[in-house]
Amino acid sequence: MISSDILERRERQFGPNAPLFYDRPLHMVRGSECWMWDADGNRYLDCYNNVPHVGHCHPHVVDALCKQASTLNIHTRYLNEVVLQYAERLTGLLPSPQLDRAMFVCTGTEANELALRIARHASGNRGVLVSDFSYHGNSSGFAELTTGLPHPEPMADFVRSLKIPDPYRWEGSEDEMVAHHLALVDDAIESLTEAGFGVATVIFDTIFSTEGLLDVPPAYVQGVAQRVRDAGGLFIADEVQPGFGRMGDAMWGFESTGVTPDLVTMGKPMGNGHPVGAVVTSSALADAFTGDALYFNTFGGNPVSAAAGNAVLDVIEREDLVHHSATVGQYLQERLKDVASKFNCAGDVRGRGLFAAVELVGDGKQPEARLAKAVINEMRNRQILISKIGPADNVLKIRPPLCLGTEEVDLLADALSSTIGTLAQ
Amino acid sequence: MISSDILERRERQFGPNAPLFYDRPLHMVRGSECWMWDADGNRYLDCYNNVPHVGHCHPHVVDALCKQASTLNIHTRYLNEVVLQYAERLTGLLPSPQLDRAMFVCTGTEANELALRIARHASGNRGVLVSDFSYHGNSSGFAELTTGLPHPEPMADFVRSLKIPDPYRWEGSEDEMVAHHLALVDDAIESLTEAGFGVATVIFDTIFSTEGLLDVPPAYVQGVAQRVRDAGGLFIADEVQPGFGRMGDAMWGFESTGVTPDLVTMGKPMGNGHPVGAVVTSSALADAFTGDALYFNTFGGNPVSAAAGNAVLDVIEREDLVHHSATVGQYLQERLKDVASKFNCAGDVRGRGLFAAVELVGDGKQPEARLAKAVINEMRNRQILISKIGPADNVLKIRPPLCLGTEEVDLLADALSSTIGTLAQ
């Protein structure tokens, strides 16, 4: 039971439009591993949150945070060992020796803002390509290039949005699908060039999460990168959702595309809840930019944030979470496919590692947004937390902390089977 | 002694352009109250940093942070008591009942970005007025309206920069000075209107810190606010530097201007080092904006950030830091004026509460940037940390944690007197 008092206080403080999950909102008071508890002591299995990447309140991360917060918390205009260690470890996790420079910020939005500044500086161009249902930040500038959320700002004149290939809905061959969508990229680049903006960058979440976790062929991403680079632009991989081992097969989402980005942006999972973000790029790009711009980020790279970031990397290593994500993720896919095989409305199961999507549809693959909403609310009533994504809001989104185990996958899959069985009569 | 190893590692990780304080950089390892220690155990009096607002590693803030980090760290789409309490307390500290709504973000940049979005939405205009030596954020959008730092981006076409009155250099009466500078505001508004942008907002740090902590008459700020509002725009007060009691006479810098802002932005001091920012505005403005924009900030308002923010407010209250800032600040002004009276080069002493500036000049008030640089480096050698500001880089900036006491003011003033005496031969 949520007291009406807390709902009223929330509305008074945050207004009627502040987003809140589920028809019956949750009042949370405690978290541990992949579990959260509400004010009445009910326990919920968290299959949604990627911020508590290595598990809610992981003691190793909390200890590192507390130890550093009680020792020193200051900015990077003094020398400090902790942030150096973190930068060295983080750049060491990138698969290319050219991605050798970390620039620390506080959020994914700040990371994408900085990456955009660097891309524009390097290219001398202003134009930006984004996917046609994407979100990379909540700033004024990024609102004007957001295609996946409502915002009052008109789209910026220097933006072109790209239709992303959706293999589930494409009727022809993969080659035809890729060629068709790359022709749209050519059009967009031509349009930016004709308008005098040129191409500064394309920015992709390389697993296309907001778009519905689409299973996009690597050849498409490679073709986009090639075309953007031919036009003088750079490739930004937004790793806020796929990064830090979630994909199981690799540390970064872009690694399965065959494209090495010019700029990699990071956020949510980095500090297990502590606000940490980063841009990783080459020394050449970073130094050229900082030679002309005095870039400074007050909280970026402070030793407490760096200690939290280091501790997250420790846990990923010690608990072998990338491999864990692969094996448990494999089981998750199997169980979800098994559930989907029983219901026509579960049209497609997608994903890799510990990020899965189930697309709910009617006849002729008609998106079933209402069913998706009912499912996540009924799952919440069964104390299992998931959400939904995609342009038609009909794709179940399963993106748990990486410590999720196979027993929890069973709880999730059994509840989902029973929920869909009840609702999809 | 800084080991060359750490400098080399820093250059490898952050490049040759990453800003670093002082000719002989400092390698910091520990902080407490208004003191920091370097790797060799030397103790430094911190008269520069406003992020550790209530003192480095204040145990009450660290305890609150650790307690909450080990309990729950999640976003605001679940109900949570801690962030509600913080919002209630924070809005209670604003002097107008209309400033009743807090929107949480992670940094001052994010706060200004959000305030700009709200101002544009409310006004329907795009134009922005800024002072001609100001800095409000490091994002792509704010780079294009930064006048106080080098950046490669051209100024945005929708920005006009305003010359701010400088009483120290103005030769006529205060009335004439205000009238002259307000006429420039009229010109800027006319120019924005003619260009079709209209006026969305003026954004001011109301104590004009970056500008050199100018002693701007309230009548000027009131005149700007009036003109901007007449043109349909809003007034944003950037409280990142003056806010949270630093001015001694009030909680917020804008309170001495006689203007109640439409939007108040907050950052650095809020979490004593933890990345916390906020926009405080009216329900009317906030609800109109969030009715059209789905604004969500992942880390903004998380319970750990809110716990840190609450703890900072506790300490300000318990240690009576606003009053402390007034009395110690008064003593600081007296001691600095006493020092300045001995040296012609110390042309002006300005400031309020625990924010002070000493302008260094030659004949005819010629700015002495080289002397300012020498002074802060020599002060660093004497283990007292200050910095410099202003368009000519010749104004000493003294902005310590609020726990600074009169004994530390004596250390600072004596060292400054001796340093200027040595250098200004």
Please, how many CA atoms are within 13 Å of residue B25, restricted to the half-sphere of its CB? 19
Q: Are B310 and B296 in contact (CB under 8 A)?
A: no
**Residue A117 maps to which CATH number?**
3.40.640.10
Q: Are A270 and A280 in contact (CB under 8 A)?
A: no
Cβ within 8 Å, pair B15-A87: no
pLDDT the model gives residue A424: 85
Q: Are A329 and A351 in contact (CB under 8 A)?
A: yes
Q: DSSP letter at A79?
A: B
pLDDT the model gives residue B424: 85
Q: Which of residues 299-318 of A touch B (CB under 8 A)?
A: 299, 302, 304-305
Indicate the residue of B28, B80, B153 with minimum beta-carbon distance to A78: B28
The pTM score is 0.97
Distance CA A123, CA A121 (A): 6
**Residue A349 maps to which CATH number?**
3.90.1150.10
Last residue of a domain, one of B253, B283, B318: B318
Distance CA A223, CA A227 (A): 6
Cβ within 8 Å, pair A273-B302: yes
Residue B339 has pLDDT above 70, yes or no: yes
Both B267 and B123 in a single domain?
yes
Checking DSSP bridges between strand A395-398 and strand A355-360, what pairing results, if any? antiparallel
For every residue of B19-35, DSSP letters joined together read: --SSSS--BEEEEEBTE
Both B293 and B342 in a single domain?
no
Both B211 and B347 in a single domain?
no
Per DSSP, the three-state class of A67 is: helix
Query: What is the predicted ipTM?
Result: 0.97
Residue B262 has pLDDT above 90, yes or no: yes
Residues of A in contact with B385 (CB under 8 A): none
Q: Is some CB atom of chain A closer than 8 A to the CB atom of B152?
A: yes
Distance CA A204, CA A259 (A): 11
Both A373 and A388 in a single domain?
yes
pLDDT the model gives residue B386: 98
Residues of A in contact with B11 (CB under 8 A): none
Last residue of a domain, one of A318, A338, A364: A318
Distance CA A247, CA B200 (A): 44
Both A330 and A263 in a single domain?
no
How many domains does chain B contain in total?
2
Q: How far is A400 from chain B (nearest CA, A)?
A: 13
Both A96 and A243 in a single domain?
yes
Name the strands in the sheet holding A387-389, side by side, starting at the edge strand that comes first in the sequence: A346-352, A355-360, A395-398, A387-389
How many Cβ contacts (< 8 angstroms) between chains A and B? 306
pLDDT in tens, B141-166: 999 999 999 999 999 999 999 999 99
Both B31 and B168 in a single domain?
no
Q: How far is B255 from chain A (nearest CA, A)?
A: 23
pLDDT in tens, B77-105: 999 999 999 999 999 999 999 999 999 99
Residue closest to A270 by CA, chosen among A300, A308, A235: A308
pLDDT the model gives residue B4: 78
Distance CA B281, CA B111 (A): 11
Which among A117, A240, A241 is the top mutation candidate for probing chain B, defined by the most B β-carbons within 10 Å of its own β-carbon? A117
Q: Rounded to whole angstroms, what are the CA distances from A289 to A46, A152, B178?
A: 41, 31, 39
Q: Which of residues 66-125 of B touch A (CB under 8 A)?
A: 66, 69-81, 84, 87-88, 91, 101-103, 106-110, 113-114, 116-117, 120-121
Cβ within 8 Å, pair B78-A27: yes
Q: Which of residues 7-36 of B touch A (CB under 8 A)?
A: 7, 9-10, 13-21, 25-31, 36
Both A76 and A185 in a single domain?
yes
Q: Is some CB atom of chain B closer than 8 A to the CB atom of A146?
A: no
Residues B5, B10, B16, B22, Cα dihedral to 10° = -80
Distance CA B277, CA B273 (A): 11
Q: Are B119 and B233 in contact (CB under 8 A)?
A: yes
Cβ within 8 Å, pair A275-B299: yes
pLDDT > 90: percent of chain A: 98
Residues of chain A scoring pLDDT < 50 = none
For every residue of B216-269, DSSP letters joined together read: --HHHHHHHHHHHHHTT-EEEEE-TTTTTTTTSS-SSGGGGTT---SEEEE-GG
Per DSSP, the three-state class of A45 is: strand
Q: Which of residues 250-289 of B touch A (CB under 8 A)?
A: 267-268, 272-275, 283, 286-287, 289
Q: Classify the C-alpha dihedral B277-B282-B287-B288 as positive or negative.
A: negative
Mean pLDDT of B310-321: 98
Residue B1 has pLDDT above 70, yes or no: no
pLDDT the model gives residue A129: 98
Last residue of a domain, one of A318, A342, A364: A318
Both A23 and A78 in a single domain?
no
Find the domain containing A326 and state its range.
4-54+320-423
Indicate the residue of B15, B19, B293 with minimum beta-carbon distance to A77: B19
pLDDT in tens, B346-373: 999 999 999 999 999 999 999 999 999 9
Both B126 and B245 in a single domain?
yes
Both A157 and A22 in a single domain?
no
Q: What are residue B204's phi and psi, to 5 degrees?
A: -130, 135
pLDDT the model gives residue A3: 73
Residue B379 has pLDDT above 80, yes or no: yes
Cβ within 8 Å, pair B120-A141: no
Distance CA A325, CA A249 (A): 8
Distance CA B148, CA B151 (A): 9
Both B331 and B271 in a single domain?
no
Please, how many CA atoms are within 13 Å of residue A251, restricted to the half-sphere of its CB? 16
